Amino acid sequence: MAESKRIIMNIVEELKYRKVIALIKKENFIELDHYFKYSGMQEVNNRLVSLTPTYRDNTFKVINDMSKYKLKNYRK
């Protein structure tokens, strides 16, 4: 009985200690997680670059130049 009471007292002491430490941390530290507005950009080599979604990474531009073909008059 005395053993379980001592264990419970140690747990209560530990919880009080954690609560005090959390208060001290809250007073001394500034949370910057939500301080800045999310811009959707990422810093690469000290420049801000907009993020490209992964499904659009492998796109390529199709160059379909048809100017070399001439329309012939087949009705003659």
Q: Where are the domains of the chain?
A: 2-56
**All residues at 6 or more sequence positions from 41 whose CB lies less than 8 Å from its CB, including other chains:** 48, 49, 50, 51
Give the DSSP per-residue string, 7-45.
HHHHHHHHHHHHHHHHHHHHHH----TTTSPP-SEEEET
Go through the chain and tell me how many residues it has. 76
Tokens of 51: 């993020």
| 41 phi and psi angles, rounded to 5 deg | -115, 160
pTM score: 0.40
The pLDDT score that the predictor gives to residue 11 is: 95
The per-residue pLDDT string of the chain (76 residues; one tens digit each, 9 = 90 and over) reads 788 999 999 999 999 999 999 999 988 888 777 777 777 788 888 888 877 666 665 667 778 888 888 877 777 6
